[in-house]
Structure 1
């Protein structure tokens, strides 16, 4: 699978978006119900972590994923987040859609949908 990069502005402060990447409970709601990006998951190796600007991990059987964020002016709360994702995921836009939905209170119903990470391989 080829490496894809997407970038989008999320109308939320960077601290909220960052929590969606590193909080294990939040990650379960958008990324994969069985994987964590940080916090002891044996299949995930944290290669680099600089809160709240960069998270780079390697997932066994998938490869390397990179999330980076910058604070940008504007948005309904005064600041928004420019979020960049790079990785071998079939539909990175869907992955970021799931993250945004979760941060707005709508986690994925895993009974109805397959994890984006697993469907990429």
Structure 2
């Protein structure tokens, strides 16, 4: 059976440069995605290009369970592709559209090529929907309190002024 690719689209009522910062700044990533630790820079084979990598501990992960992620493509503030050792390829594409609080909003597309079997796609889709809800809350000044999440629900409803849909799933 072929692996599932998940595609999500959101309109966020802030300009792409603000959304971009939440995708690339380790402190901001920790406010919506999970615990982040930057890894020492490596150099790509036969080039002097620095390879950016980080370790991410997802919510609910046990001790020693983390994901190593390497930035494989970056085009600020429009495109970020990250390859992981256990969660597949994650790609964020940002576009600017009129509107929003500052005259510009962001059309965000997230593509997750996780290599999972379609039977598990619903659970992974739900995890990413929750993460995108958390991203929106962070962008509106409400980072995740991970200690609170560990003890009970953090209320993962969306933030006013935003719309969301998963392109390849109902709802």
TM-score, length basis structure 1: 0.83
Offset of residue 75 of structure 1? 1.4
Larger Rg: 2
Count of aligned residue pairs for this structure pair: 113
C-alpha spacing 1:76/1:51, structure 2 compared with 1 (3 Å): same
| Aligned-residue CA RMSD (Å) | 2.0
Distance 2:84 2:32 in 1: 16
Whether 1:98 aligns to 2:134 is yes
Distance 2:133 2:80 in 1: 18
Tell me if the contact between 1:28 and 1:35 (Cα under 8 Å) persists in the aligned partners.
no
Give structure 1 regions of 4+ aligned residues with deviation exceeding 4 angstroms.
none
Structure 2 residue ranges without an equivalent (≥5): 39-50, 56-67, 115-123, 151-171
Distance 1:39 1:30 in 2: 20
1:34-53 mapped onto 2 (5 Å cutoff): 34=36, 39-41=52-54, 43-53=68-78
